[in-house]
Every structure is written in structure tokens, then in C-alpha cells.
Amino acid sequence: MTNPLLSPSELPFGLPPFAAIQDNHYAEAVDAGLAEHLAEIQAIVDNPEPANFENTALAMERSGRLLQRAAASFFTLVSADASDTIEELETELSPRFTAHQDAVYLNRALYERFAAVDTEGLDSESQRLVEEYLKEFRQSGIQLSDEGQEKLKELNAELARLGTEFGQRVKEGMKSASLLLDDAADLAGLPADEISSAAEAARLAGHEGKFLLTLIQPSSQPALASLENREVRRRLYEASIARGSSGGSLDVLDLVRSMVRLRAEKAALLGFANFAELVVDRQTAPDFGAVRTMLNRLAPPAVRNADAEAAALAESAGHPLEAWDWSYYSAKVRRERYAVDEQAIRPYFELNRVLADGVFFAATSLYGITFQERPDLSGYHEDVRVWEVRNEDGSELGLFLGDYYTRESKRGGAWMNSLVDQAELLGTRPVVINNLNISKPPAGEPTLLTLDEVRTLFHEFGHALHGLFSDVTYPRFSGTNVPRDFVEYPSQVNEMWIMWPEVLANYARHHATGEQLPQDVVDRLNESRLWGEGFATTEYLGAALLDLAWHVLDAGSVPQDPLEFEAKALAAAGVAHTLIPPRYRSGYFQHIFAGDYYAAGYYSYIWSEVLDAETVDWFTENGGLSRANGDRFRTELLAWGNSRDPLESFRTFRGRDAKLEPLLKRRGLE
């Protein structure tokens, strides 16, 4: 059978023909793609003509198309539907991808051609393209001696291997830590549909007649807010926070120590004081000191608010509080103070309605785009749905894929990724995916969301819009290919429409009766907005500061006991709280150890939120949900990707630099 990855897809927008792709096709396509890309680069280097923009930078942008197709499809499966074969292949291929990256950006002859390109007279995007390539060469170690480059290659290869193993152990650990219960009485307090989902999860896992509480990636598990049985809450909480650090084959602390040491060695080799300094050098933050200053400014008021919340919870509980009690009594206090019961409003948040009449409705209202589901197009799993997206004038924009349900073959959390990047140079339009991990109900029953899951749905679609609205010439700059401390900004902005009256009224309707969510409930939800912000900010800052603590170490000071180090690091940062673990502990901190995309960069969420809070204020001041406002945000910010300095895009949109005050007000930290 012909390998469908070896030639461009004939499906609309270049959607990979997943139905025709077999597992063995990936290795063949990656092999061919790596070889083809190296040959294309060698042709650039061997070109006898003097280096210029067309024969060097443009040739580079056009290269690697087969490799890109194969890698995008393969890593989509790695994250969302990984069989044992795919995981074995990931272990084999990840170091090869890293070695290939080194082969490109440690190629002195290629660097010299880029350095010789005369950018005078080029448009600003083309000038930036050359500048960004030169920056990546330097940040990748082109300045090192041959011996230094060989050492760097060894470090990168081992880091790729360890990161892959970390991600695979964590995924398996999350599955094995799920809590199996024999008696439905142990689930007292959970809504009926969640009990049904737990029964279905147990059945699929081979435990007919029992109930399985599966875990989500963060420390705090949603069921803790509802379970009345305190012992069950304790077991669920302890199963969650012990992941990856309890010994056995799924313990990852050995991997953590090794990765931290190797990253410190890499930073030193490249001339940086530590890995955090190396990472921030590539971001929008001016320097590492600015990041640390902001986090340190936020920590004391966040913990102060958390302590005030803890006092209210202890009073409500009538007994000393434990960490597994927090969510349960927080929900109870919210009901007592604000008459808000988040479980009681879940019937108003049915997945399909929230998606069509909330997420898509807000996007249409703002940007004029429309969505047509394409059941004739297949994803990589039967749960994947595909929509064709068009502009207001009917012209094609791209494809959007949604994969919303959890399964054993999918990693935890929620994310967006791109299968095809928009690029005028290549004539490609975007194909983007949103992944969530919502519990799947038994057949025929509705999928009811928590308010937090609604927020995640809107958030991830903000990333999708960033990809869909890309309007750049070069694939390197497309969509979300921006600094990581900017990438969360558009997604956080999209969360503002969740409670926007026009949007909420359109989607928040009872799944059975069609009744609109009562206005008095909406008012109480708005009144209770700041309740729980102490907890939320403290658990986030715990993770962000823990990330930085790991990545300011030098290679000789990596601790033997990571959990002891974790406790001391949180205490030193002022965010150690006996009732609030960090959002991710070291044993399951996938963001920073399953690869390095967010390593020393988990601060990005709150750094981006500074821009987000300013943008929400701008929309509010200028009339909110309107086509004019949407067009401005699209054309001045979302469309640009990284084709100009992202902070310049923000300034062009907002009219000035961002201030911290709107964020402080939003989180109750003034």
C-alpha cells in the first residue's frame, strides 16, 4: 500500500488522510522527510551563487515539507491517541528529531549564508525572517567550537530521550492512579451523570459494576468539590499528588534530576548563568529578573487571600481543614455566601450547545466567520469532529478539529496544535486542533460541563483562532509560532466571552427544557467571581515558582531528594501552603519535563494575562462584542503571528504598553 504521507494530501486544506495512514507509515515518512530536508539544506549550502534572500531564506522556508507533514501527523497521535506502537516509535524518533534540529542549526556553512544575506530593501517581514534565523542559530550554539557542538548534541539527544520517557510514564501514572470504587454510596454528592461516567469508565477498563474516578493532569481533582465521603476525598487527593513520586516503575524523580542537571550544563555551555536565563532570552520578557520580580510581587497578596479563604472554610467545616477538604468546603461556602451551586448549573452547559451557541457564536459575532461541520472528513479517532471555517464573505479560512473526550491513549490536560500552518509563500491555509479531556458519558446521555470546563473550551479555541487568523507570508511566523510567554495571551482573551451577557444567554440553556440560565444565578456567579482567587493564584504561582527554582540550579547543585527540594523551594518563594499544593508537582509537571516547551516558562500564563486583562478592559471600554472590535483584534494582533515583534502588535492594538493594575484588580491582588 502506498504511504499516504509521502505526497501532499488531496483532502481539503491538506488535512492528513488519517483513515489511510497506518502506524508503520510514520517511520517511513519521517525517514524520507529527514533525508529530503537535509538534501534540501545541502543544496542551499552548495549553491554557487552568492547568498541572497531568495536562494537562502526563501529556499529554507520552502524546505522540509515532507518532514513537516509526517511530524505534524505523528505528534498529533503521540498526544491524542498513542498506541503502544506509536509510543515505541516516539521513543525511537524523538532523539532523531532533536539530532536533526542540531544538524540544521549547527551547520556553519548554512549560518554563513544567512549571515551574508543583504536585507536592505526587503520588506519588514522578510527582514525579520533573516533576523530570526540568525537568532536561532546563535541560541542553538553555532558560536561553539566543534568540541562544544558535539557536547551540545549529546545533551540535546539525552534530554529528548528523557523528556519522552517522562511524558510516557506520567500518562501511564495518571491512568494507574485512577481511583476504583466498589460501592455507588462512596460517590455520594457527585451528580448522577458523573456517576454514570465513572461507571462507564470502569466498564471500559474491565471493571463492570464498579466506578472509576479518572484523574485530570493538575493536582486538584474536580470530584473533590462534590464527594461527601471524606475518606474517599482523601484517597483521591493523595492519589493525585503522589503521581510520579511514590517509587516503582512509574516514578519520574530520577528523570527530573537528570533533566535539570543536563539543562544546567546546556545553559552553561551556551554562556548563560542558568537554564532560566537561557529560556527568557528567547521570550518577550526583557530578562529573567523582570519575571521573578513580577511573581514575587504577586505571591504575598495571593497567599494572604488564600489564608482568608482557608479561615472561612475551616469555620464552615467545623473541624481542622485538610488539603482534600478545600474544594468541598469552598463549594459549600460559595453556596452559603453567594447561593451559587456549580454542580446545579451543569445541566445548562451541554457540550454541543456551549460549542455551537457559545464558542462559535462569539467568534461569528466578533469576526463574522462561520462553521460548517464536515462529517465526510475523518480525524485520527472516531471522537474527532471536523468543521470547515469560512470568512464573512464566504471565502475559505481553514479547518477546525475538536477532540473533546478523555481516553487511555490520550495525555492529560488540554491543548491546541496545528496540522497545517497558514503561509502565503506555500499557498497553505490553517488546519488546527483543540484537545480536551472531558469524561465521556454513556451513549445517549448528554455531556454536561463544569464552569471550569466551559472556560477551557473557550480558552483552547482562543489558540485555534490565533492559528486560523494567521495572515503571514512565511510558515516560520504562522499563528501560534510566537514566544511562549505571548502564546497564552489570545487564548486568555477569548475566555472573556464566557460570561458576556449576549453570549451567555445564547448558550447557557438547560439541556432538557431549553430554559435559559436564570438571571439571578448569573448575577450571583458574577458576585462570586473573586471567591477562590486566593487558592487559584497561589496554586498557579506555586507551580511557576517551582519551575524557576528547578531551572536556576547549576549542574553541581541538583538535589538528591526532589521532594525535599520542592518543599524548600516553595517555602523560600513564600508560596508554601499546607492546604494548597502547587498546580503541578514535580512528579507530574508535564509542561516543563515532558519536553522543554514550558521549561522555565510556566510563568508565561500570568505574564500573558497582563496583556489579556488590558485587552478585556479595551473591549469593555469600546463596546464589547462587535464586528468592529473583532476586526481590530484580528487584523492588528491575531493575524500577525510572529511576523513582527508581538509586543509591537499589542501596542498597535492597545495604543500603549500594558500595565499590571488590571491584572491585580482581576485577581483581587490590589
Whole-angstrom distance, CA of residue 13 vs CA of residue 10: 8
Give all strands (DSSP E) within 187-265, no chain letters. Answer: 211-213
* Consecutive H or E run containing 432: strand 431-438
Which domain-ending residue is among 489, 506, 527? 527
171 within domain boundaries: no
* Consecutive H or E run containing 371: strand 370-373
Which domain-ending residue is among 511, 527, 543? 527
Report the candidate in 580, 619, 94 with the shortest Cα–Cα distance to residue 299: 580
pLDDT in tens, 131-171: 999 999 999 999 999 999 999 999 999 999 999 999 999 99
Same domain, 482 and 498: yes
Same domain, 360 and 225: no
- Per-residue confidence band for 435, with pLDDT thresholds at 50, 70 and 90: very high
CB 9 within 8 Å of CB 70: no
158 within domain boundaries: no
pLDDT in tens, 263-305: 999 999 999 999 999 999 999 999 999 999 999 999 999 999 9
Region of residue 266 (left: phi > 0; alpha: psi -120 to 50; beta: else): alpha
Roughly how many angstroms between the first and final C-alpha of the chain, as a whole number? 64
Q: What is the CATH number of the domain that holds 22?
A: 1.20.1050.40
Same domain, 73 and 119: yes
User: With 70 as the cut, is the pLDDT of residue 51 above it?
Assistant: yes
CB 387 within 8 Å of CB 373: yes
Same domain, 380 and 490: yes
Same domain, 298 and 417: no
The pair phi, psi for residue 373, each rounded to 5°, is -65, 140
Same domain, 12 and 137: yes
Same domain, 427 and 315: no
Same domain, 510 and 541: no
In which domain, by residue range, is 491 found?
346-527
Can you tell me whether residue 442 is helix, strand or coil?
Answer: coil
User: What pLDDT shows up at residue 670?
Assistant: 85
Question: What is each CA distance from 137 to 115, 140, 157, 482, 572, in whole angstroms?
Answer: 10, 5, 18, 17, 36
How many structural domains is the chain composed of?
A: 4
How many residues does this entry show for the chain? 670
Q: What is the CATH number of the domain that holds 452?
A: 1.10.1370.40
pTM metric for this prediction: 0.96
* DSSP structural state of residue 53: I
User: What amino acid positions are annotated as catalytic residues?
Assistant: 460
Can you tell me whether residue 595 is helix, strand or coil?
Answer: coil
Report the candidate in 647, 638, 651 with the shortest Cα–Cα distance to residue 470: 638
Whole-angstrom distance, CA of residue 431 vs CA of residue 433: 7
The pair phi, psi for residue 597, each rounded to 5°, is -60, -40
User: With 90 as the cut, is the pLDDT of residue 212 above it?
Assistant: yes
Same domain, 97 and 198: no
Which domain-ending residue is among 539, 559, 588? 588
CB 516 within 8 Å of CB 226: no
CB 174 within 8 Å of CB 243: yes
- Per-residue confidence band for 425, with pLDDT thresholds at 50, 70 and 90: very high
- Residue 236: HSE in the Cβ half-sphere, 13 Å Cα cutoff: 30
Same domain, 578 and 486: no
576-582: average pLDDT? 97
227 within domain boundaries: yes
User: What pLDDT shows up at residue 452?
Assistant: 96
Report the candidate in 46, 232, 271 with the shortest Cα–Cα distance to residue 152: 271
CB 488 within 8 Å of CB 388: no
Same domain, 384 and 237: no
Whole-angstrom distance, CA of residue 371 vs CA of residue 497: 18
Whole-angstrom distance, CA of residue 292 vs CA of residue 30: 40
Region of residue 215 (left: phi > 0; alpha: psi -120 to 50; beta: else): beta
Same domain, 441 and 322: no
Grid coordinates belonging to 198: 465513572
In the chain, the largest separation of any two C-alpha atoms, in whole Å, equals 81
The angle at the Cα of 292, spanning 286 to 293, to the nearest 5 degrees, equals 85
User: With 70 as the cut, is the pLDDT of residue 1 above it?
Assistant: no
User: What pLDDT shows up at residue 104?
Assistant: 98
User: With 90 as the cut, is the pLDDT of residue 540 above it?
Assistant: yes
pLDDT in tens, 216-260: 999 999 999 999 999 999 999 999 999 999 999 999 999 999 999
CB 67 within 8 Å of CB 36: yes
Whole-angstrom distance, CA of residue 198 vs CA of residue 420: 36
Whole-angstrom distance, CA of residue 670 vs CA of residue 661: 8
624 within domain boundaries: no
Query: Would strands 431-438 and 396-405 be described as parallel, antiparallel, or unpaired?
Result: parallel
With a pLDDT cut of 70, the percent of the chain lying above it is 100
Whole-angstrom distance, CA of residue 354 vs CA of residue 457: 9
Whole-number CA gyration radius for the chain:
25
* Consecutive H or E run containing 243: none
User: With 80 as the cut, is the pLDDT of residue 590 above it?
Assistant: yes
669 within domain boundaries: no
98-113: average pLDDT? 98
CB 570 within 8 Å of CB 582: yes
Distance of CA 109 to the CA centre of its chain: 36
